[in-house]
Amino acid sequence: MAAALPAAARLWRQPARPASRAVALPAPPRRACVRGEPAEGGGGGRHDTRAPLRTSARRGAMGRAGRRLPALAAVFYGALAALVLLGVRDVLFLYEENRCSMTYMYEYPEYLKIKLPKKTARRYPAYELYLYGEGNYAEENKNLLLTGIPVLFLPGNAGSYKQVRSLGSIALRKAEDVDFKYHFNFFSVNFNEELVALYGGSLQQQTKFVHECIKVILKLYRDQEFAPTSVAIVGHSMGGLVARALLTLKNFKPELINLLITQATPHVAPVMPLDKYLTDFYTAVNNHWILKAQDLRNLTTLSVAGGFRDYQVRSGLAFLPRLSQHDSALSVVSSAVPRAWASTDHLSIVWCKELILATIRAFFDLIDENTRQITEDPKKRMSVLHHHFVRHPAKTFEENPEAFTELTGAFMWIPVKASKWTYSVYNVSNVFFLIVFLCVFFLLMSNFFFLLRILMENISHFLLQATENHTVMFTVKTDTSSWIYGCMNSNSSMCLEATDLSWRAELLPTTKVVILKLQDYTSLSHIVIQVPPTVGNKYTLDCEFFREDSRTVQLPVTHLFSFGLSSSKILLNSTGLLYNVQLQHFNRIYQAFKIYIESHCQSLKERKPSVYRLHVPWSHEDSIIVAKVPSFTEISAKLHIAQPQNDSRVPELNIYSSSDCQYEVILKTSVLQVLGQIIRFHAGALPVYVVSNIFLTYGGQLSTLMSTGQCSDFPLELVRTAKPYKVEPLISIVVFLQGFNWFREIWESLSLPEVDAAVLSSQDAWFPLVSLILFVFGTGIAYWSGVFFSTSLRLFSSLWLTLIRPTVLQKDNKLITPRRLCGVLSLALVSWTTCGAFAVFIIYLQYLFKVIKLHVNVRAEQNMLNGDSDCSKETSQNSSIYTVKNQSSTDSTLKATQSLSNSTTIAEAVNSLKMHVTILNLFTWIVLLNLPSLIYWLKNLRYSVRLDPDPCRSTAIILVCILEILMNSSTSEVKSRARNLPSTSIFQVSKQGGGICTAPFNSNRS
């Protein structure tokens, strides 16, 4: 009986045999050690000893070559994975430091829950509406007798309604400054912190709930004197998209919203298009805004992106789609916002003090004094937003500034023969005027007169630079009053009539600058500068006349494939206040450079800091850096948006320099930042390329199994089959055909996802080699994910062996049994009644458990087989004199037969294990892509047992059936059915299932 049991069972069940008398017998003939060779002494003829030597040498060479190939592959794919990690590191960690200040509440924040109508509360049980308040203000508003201006805050993906506190608190402090003449009531919606960026099934539900909230909010002001008719909305992340989606509702009135401000909202496309509901929602919103553009002209929209610190939503996605009505929509990056000049991450954008201050100042400037609500004039709204978010003139906003003013005083003239002039003053308590004549400078101070004469030949521009105490913030008087005028009419003693030129100024971190093109001001006779009181401070004015072409230099950027080994260099001997360095051929998103600016000065006297601004003319994404003089400064130059096809403007590096200093500018390609740009723009497509490589590898394993009877290892088969030419031609053909309307119609009729190459091309984010680069990166990730997965299985199996006794390898020839059929029907029922991703996750765990169990049994059988082999060798060495027990010849025959049977069984099990590990690796990625809907379902389980809508419901049923078939299949069954079925039938089944599951994620890559 013991000899008939498999080896694994004999390990614990072999009974002790009774001792028997040993009998000396002649030694039997020795058996051959290698199967297929004649036994020693068998077969006549001369024995050639050279053949075994040649065979051994050949096998040794093949073995070394076979060992060398996996090593080289590991090094190559390790390098690819390292490049991916370097790109990820650049995106996640290598960005500018956080320059935002934290906002603080002066009183304890309170959130008053607004009671909703019963019908609304029953329809949306997970959502709530709150009113923000602090201290006495919160107590006064508990009776909901509101008199302010309503603003509704919408949180984003997994966001909290409490994020409104920064806006609400600063708005409350601002209202206290004006004695509550105007104030805002900030409402906030609780979306239950849903993962709407990953699961789009609840976006439509959130949109309808916001519509109900707007109606409830406006009813609270129904009996007030200045009752509002519209609501301003501030939306963070996906909350901004929900606000835009309000206009797609059939019964929504567009006049209910007059102002929409979004913070880090991905308007163009979803960050991770994981399900069809998310992509369909985006398509519906963007198409409506394009088709109904004329109807939306009364809605003013501002989108603020976070810059490179926000690695969750890249700024290119936050720019509103380019529409014809540029006068009603504005998109900026926070690094370009005046008085903020800081990049923000995805969460800090809601509490960044500098950015919140700009937003609240804009809110108060938008108030109409007659209605005490936000103005209904779209032009004024855009003017205010431009004033605070694009170009700040260091002056408070005025809707209708006075065209002319009078300046009185006595003058004395002093000639100064220079094209550049600096004036400084200390501790001045009275206001005085500094007057510049277009041919002569005039200085007015008390009743004394000075004449400053210069030559004006070859002059085209005039620049003024005013600095107070070298600080970012100025005194209230300097910041809010006019300070530069153009004199229209004058006599020898006074300026009779002047126009305000302060609106031409621009505020920079350490200075305010005015650049006037003289040919546009031919009617002016003087330029008058009002110098404010500077008690305890220093006021410096730099003035210069220059020709524009003399201060503009061109610097060609280095080639992408220079890899930072070459550089472009330019030397600026500063004799002026401004230089414009044009970065030639810098227009694509995959370009990234390091710009090094080194300043040297002749003297060590104290100088004002230099300001370096990287200006991108086709989008508001400038970045500004302040550097001491002398210093060595490093600037990262990369784009959020590629240059539009019809735009020929060039990015510039504006250097606001210090006089008598020398600036050396060096530009090099940054390989690490190029990798970071590829990851930033195309990381969402990497999982598709990884799955494509696993598909190719699985198909190669099945092909090898059919031809040789052995299933190859995943890493070796990946090296052999994962070739770009198997995927890239198909992609190129599909992208080419997408240019024809008839093909797009057929494609859409088949419910196929939009090709990501076409989507990225429309966003100017696609370039010819990106698909090849992503495929190679995907191959590297697939290789090491397979290695990691196999290593993890070995660790689990080792732990299993130490805790649980392994079972016997059993061969099951039935692919479908009543028990398995019941299991499939049960999981299908779970998928239909609860959540499809939950059913997929259950069968995935079942598959994982079965693979680990198979791995454990194979290892146990291999250990037993190796033990039997060692015993056989020991017995053969002592075969000259040995003993036999009862039925020794029968036992030897049974042992040999059992050993051969075990070897065959183990070989088949090893082949099946390799195949199952590849399938499990493939479906691991599929489960990860469907995990967000499972998390959403678990989080909302207390409200509803069934996830509706469910993007995985129908596909989960198909996947459950496919996985049940695949997990119970073996290599022997594949080979036996190969005569009746196509050689890749199971592969096609698994590929269809994977394709169905990854279809929303651009599965055309598969």
- Give the residue numbers marked as catalytic: 237
HSE at residue 985, side-chain half, CA atoms within 13 A, is 14
- Give which of 794, 693, 656 is closest to 1006, Cα–Cα: 693
Provide the 3-class DSSP secondary structure of residue 33: coil
- Give which of 388, 391, 333 is closest to 514, Cα–Cα: 391
Q: Which two tokens stand for residue 865?
A: 């087989």
* Residue 654 bridge partners (DSSP): 580, 613
The residue behind tokens 């105007």 is: 182
- Give which of 656, 665, 682, 675 is closest to 557, Cα–Cα: 665
Asked whether the beta carbons of 393 and 466 are under 8 A apart, the reply is: no
302/466 Cα distance (integer angstroms): 31
HSE at residue 917, side-chain half, CA atoms within 13 A, is 29
Number of neighbouring beta carbons within 10 Å of residue 571: 11
- The packing angle between helices 770-803 and 888-929, to 10°, is 130
Provide the 3-class DSSP secondary structure of residue 805: coil
Asked whether the beta carbons of 532 and 541 are under 8 A apart, the reply is: no
* Residue 152 bridge partners (DSSP): 187, 233
96/81 Cα distance (integer angstroms): 25
- One-letter amino acid at 84 equals V
175/534 Cα distance (integer angstroms): 29
CA 444 vs. chain centroid, Å, equals 56
Provide the 3-class DSSP secondary structure of residue 824: helix
Burial group, residue 610, by CB count within 10 angstroms (0-12, 13-18, 19+): buried
Number of neighbouring beta carbons within 10 Å of residue 569: 11
Asked whether the beta carbons of 1001 and 683 are under 8 A apart, the reply is: no
Distance linking the first and last C-alpha atoms of the chain? 52
The residue behind tokens 């540029």 is: 326
Asked whether the beta carbons of 685 and 1005 are under 8 A apart, the reply is: yes
Asked whether the beta carbons of 597 and 633 are under 8 A apart, the reply is: yes
CA 376 vs. chain centroid, Å, equals 36
456/546 Cα distance (integer angstroms): 9
Q: Which two tokens stand for residue 978?
A: 């190969």
Region of residue 944 (left: phi > 0; alpha: psi -120 to 50; beta: else): beta
The residue behind tokens 């059936």 is: 961
Q: Which two tokens stand for residue 494?
A: 């006074």
Number of neighbouring beta carbons within 10 Å of residue 312: 15
Provide the 3-class DSSP secondary structure of residue 568: strand
233/560 Cα distance (integer angstroms): 43
186/148 Cα distance (integer angstroms): 9
* Residue 442 bridge partners (DSSP): 451
673/780 Cα distance (integer angstroms): 20
Provide the 3-class DSSP secondary structure of residue 738: coil
The residues near 612 (Cβ < 8 Å, ≥ 6 apart) are: 597, 624, 625, 626, 627, 633, 635, 653, 654, 655, 656
The residues near 425 (Cβ < 8 Å, ≥ 6 apart) are: 531, 534, 538, 539
